[in-house]
Amino acid sequence: MAHNLSIAVLKTGLVPSQKRLEDPILEITLWGMKFSNPIGLAAGYDKNAEVSDALFKQGFGFVEIGTVTPQPQHGNSKPRLFRLIEDEAVINQMGFNNSGMCQVAKNLTRRRNRDGIIGVNLGKNKTTENVSIDYEKETLILGPLSDYLVINVSSPNTPGLRALQSRFTLENLIEKVQHNLNKLTQQPPLLLKISPDLNDKDLYDIAEVAKKTKLDGLIVTNTTITRPYGLHSFNKTKTGGLSGAPLFELSTKILREIYSVTNGCIPLIGVGGITTGAQAYSKIRAGASLIQLYTTLIYHGMSQITKIKYDLGRLLRRDGFQKLTDAIGADHKGS
Ligand SMILES: Cc1cc2nc3c(=O)[nH]c(=O)nc-3n(C[C@H](O)[C@H](O)[C@H](O)COP(=O)(O)O)c2cc1C
| Closest by CA position to 246, among listed 269, 223, 268 | 223
In a domain, 134, yes or no: yes
- Of all protein residues, the one whose alpha carbon is nearest to atom 18 of ligand 1 is 222
In a domain, 166, yes or no: yes
The reply to whether 155 belongs to the active site is: yes
pLDDT at 325 over 90: yes
The H-assigned helical ranges of the chain are 2-11, 52-57, 101-110, 131-142, 167-181, 200-212, 248-261, 277-286, 295-300, 303-318, 324-327, 330-333
Q: What is the pLDDT of residue 238?
A: 95
In a domain, 239, yes or no: no
- Nearest ligand 1 atom to the CA of 219 is 19
Per the prediction, the chain carries an average pLDDT of 94
Task: Extract long-range pairs of 312-315: CB within 8 Å, 24+ residues apart.
Answer: 312/26, 312/38, 312/39, 312/277, 312/280, 312/281, 312/284, 313/23, 313/25, 313/26, 314/277, 315/277, 315/278, 315/281
Strand partners, 270: 220, 291
Q: Tens digits of per-residue pLDDT, 44-81?
A: 999 999 999 999 999 999 999 999 999 999 999 999 99
pLDDT tier at 157, thresholds 50, 70, 90: confident
- Nearest ligand 1 atom to the CA of 244 is 25
In a domain, 229, yes or no: no
pLDDT at 335 over 60: no
pLDDT tier at 28, thresholds 50, 70, 90: very high
- Of all protein residues, the one whose alpha carbon is nearest to atom 21 of ligand 1 is 243
In a domain, 31, yes or no: yes
The percent of residues in the chain predicted with pLDDT above 90, rounded, is 85
Q: How many CA atoms lie within 13 A of 4 on its CB side?
A: 4
Mean pLDDT of 92-101: 94
Measured in Å, residue 297 CA sits from the centre of ligand 1 at 12
pLDDT tier at 113, thresholds 50, 70, 90: confident
Query: Which protein residues are within 6 Å of ligand 1, measured from CB?
Result: 42-44, 66-67, 81, 90, 92, 94, 96, 121, 152, 155, 193, 222-223, 243-244, 247, 271-274, 293-296
Measured in Å, residue 320 CA sits from the centre of ligand 1 at 33
Measured in Å, residue 13 CA sits from the centre of ligand 1 at 24
The Cα 309–Cα 305 span in angstroms is 6
pLDDT tier at 120, thresholds 50, 70, 90: very high
- Nearest ligand 1 atom to the CA of 292 is 26
- Of all protein residues, the one whose alpha carbon is nearest to atom 5 of ligand 1 is 44
Q: What is the largest CA-CA distance in the chain?
A: 52
| Domain containing residue 155 | 2-71+99-222+250-327
pLDDT at 182 over 60: yes
Query: Of residues 4 and 121, which shows the higher confidence score?
Result: 121
Q: What is the pLDDT of residue 14?
A: 63
- SS3 (DSSP) at 198: coil
- SS3 (DSSP) at 254: helix
pLDDT tier at 324, thresholds 50, 70, 90: very high
Q: How many other CB atoms sit within 10 Å of the CB of residue 92? A: 22
Query: Of residues 102 and 115, which shows the higher confidence score?
Result: 102
The Cα 135–Cα 120 span in angstroms is 12
In a domain, 241, yes or no: no
315, 278 Cβ separation under 8 angstroms: yes
In a domain, 78, yes or no: no
Cα angle value 104/166/142 (rounded, 5°): 15
In total, how many domains does the chain have?
A: 1
Instruction: Let me know how long the chain is.
Output: 335
pLDDT at 334 over 80: no
- SS3 (DSSP) at 318: helix
The dihedral region occupied by 43, where left means phi > 0, alpha psi between -120 and 50, and beta the remainder, is beta
- Nearest ligand 1 atom to the CA of 245 is 25
Q: What is the pLDDT of residue 333?
A: 86
Q: What is the pLDDT of residue 4?
A: 78
Mean pLDDT of 139-165: 90
113 Cβ neighbours under 8 A, 6+ residues apart:
none
The Cα 280–Cα 292 span in angstroms is 9
In a domain, 233, yes or no: no
Catalytic residue among 99, 155, 233, 289: 155
Decide: residue 21, CB within 10 A, 0-12 exposed, 13-18 middle, 19+ buried.
exposed
Q: Tens digits of per-residue pLDDT, 228-271?
A: 999 999 999 999 999 999 999 999 999 999 999 999 999 999 99
Angle between the N-to-C axes of helices 131-142 and 101-110, in degrees from 0 to 180, rounded to the nearest 10: 20
pLDDT at 17 over 90: no
| CATH number assigned to the domain comprising residue 190 | 3.20.20.70
